[in-house]
C-alpha cells in the first residue's frame, strides 16, 4: 500500500497508508488529518483541498484538467507551480513516498 506524507503548516508530518485508486484527499480525511476542508466532497468545485506537491513527485503526476486548473485560481493561499487539488490526485504505487504540504488557509 503506497505511503503519502502530509506536512501541515506547523511542520507536523503524517504518513498515510493509502489504497491504490484512493485520492489523497479521501485518505487525509479518513485519517482525521486537519487542514483539508474538501467542502465539495471531491467534485473539483471548491478548491478547499489544496496541497503543494513536493518534487520529484509533482512532475510525475498526471496532468490536471481544465476544471482543476480553473479551481486552483480560487485557493485560499496563493497558487504555486506545484499546487494541486488533492481530490484529483489518485494514489498509485508509483507515488509511494510522495510528500504534500498543506497550506495554512484553505
- Binding ligand FES (rule: CB under 6 A), the pick from 6, 47, 51, 98 is 47
| In the complex, least distance from residue 86 CB atom to ligand FES, rounded to whole angstroms | 7
Distances (CA, A) of 14 to 11, 32, 36, 76, 79: 10, 11, 13, 22, 23
| In the complex, least distance from residue 48 CB atom to ligand FES, rounded to whole angstroms | 6
Sequence-distant (6+) residues with CB within 8 A of 102 are 6, 7, 8, 9, 35, 36, 51, 52
Size of the site for ligand FES (CB under 6 A): 15
Quote the CA–CA distance of 40 and 19 in Å, as a whole number: 22
- Binding ligand FES (rule: CB under 6 A), the pick from 6, 16, 24, 46 is 46
Q: What is the H or E stretch that residue 7 is in?
A: strand 3-7
Residue with cell 506536512: 7
Q: Tell whether residue 22 is a contact of ligand FES (CB under 6 A).
A: no
Q: Tell whether residue 40 is a contact of ligand FES (CB under 6 A).
A: yes
Q: Tell whether residue 31 is a contact of ligand FES (CB under 6 A).
A: no
Residues in touch with ligand FES (CB under 6 A): 25, 38-40, 42-49, 71, 85, 87
Amino acid at each position: 500500500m503506497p505511503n503519502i506524507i502530509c506536512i501541515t503548516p506547523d511542520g507536523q508530518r503524517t504518513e498515510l497508508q493509502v489504497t491504490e485508486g484512493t485520492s489523497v484527499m479521501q485518505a487525509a480525511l479518513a485519517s482525521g488529518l486537519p487542514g483539508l476542508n474538501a467542502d465539495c466532497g471531491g467534485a473539483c468545485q471548491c478548491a478547499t483541498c489544496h496541497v503543494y506537491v513536493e518534487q520529484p513527485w509533482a512532475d510525475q503526476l498526471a496532468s490536471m484538467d481544465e476544471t482543476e486548473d480553473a479551481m486552483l485560481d480560487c485557493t485560499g493561499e496563493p497558487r504555486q507551480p506545484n499546487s494541486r487539488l488533492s481530490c484529483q490526485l489518485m494514489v498509485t504505487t508509483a507515488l509511494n513516498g510522495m510528500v504534500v504540504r498543506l497550506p495554512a488557509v484553505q
